[in-house]
Structure 1
Amino acid sequence: MFGKLGPTELILILVIALVVFGPSKLPEIGKALGKGVKEFKAHTANITSEITGEVDKKD
């Protein structure tokens, strides 16, 4: 139930965001959100590689 968002839910979220923020702010919000996700993935990959390196050192 909570695992996936279907097309109907995504459309509803986009319509609500359009009403709340307006059409001029949506590109800025999308850009900031994309940048945040990209940084999160980069930091996650960095931490994963550090942990893997430490585990390999102990073996």
Structure 2
Amino acid sequence: MLRNAFEPWHLILIIAVLVLLFGSKKLPDMARGLGRSLRILKSEAKALKDDRQDSPAAR
């Protein structure tokens, strides 16, 4: 049913809508903020995983 649900023209359409909604000046700032957020999330998840492995109660 959803064999070809996501095709390349879908991505082009999504990018065009984003540019129309937010403008080309705000998109780099939004992408930069998203990248920072993902880096923070990744580091926090890694720290949580390391804390669980170091804890003797995890066993």
The normalised TM-score by structure 1 is 0.74
Residue pairs, 1:3-42, within 5 angstroms: 6-42=7-43
Greater Rg over alpha carbons, structure: 2
Between the aligned partners of 2:17 and 2:35, the Cα distance in structure 1 is: 19
- The AA in structure 2 aligned to 1:35 is R
Q: Structure 1 residue runs of 4+, over 2 Å off?
A: 5-13
Give, in angstroms, the shift of residue 6 of structure 1.
Answer: 5.0
Between the aligned partners of 1:15 and 1:35, the Cα distance in structure 2 is: 24
**What RMSD over aligned residues (CA atoms) do the two structures have, in Å?**
2.1
Between the aligned partners of 1:46 and 1:6, the Cα distance in structure 2 is: 36
Give, in angstroms, the shift of residue 9 of structure 1.
Answer: 3.3
The gaps in structure 2 that reach 5 residues or longer are none
Aligned in 2, Cα 1:23/1:50: closer, same or farther, shift over 3 Å?
A: same
Between the aligned partners of 1:50 and 1:14, the Cα distance in structure 2 is: 39
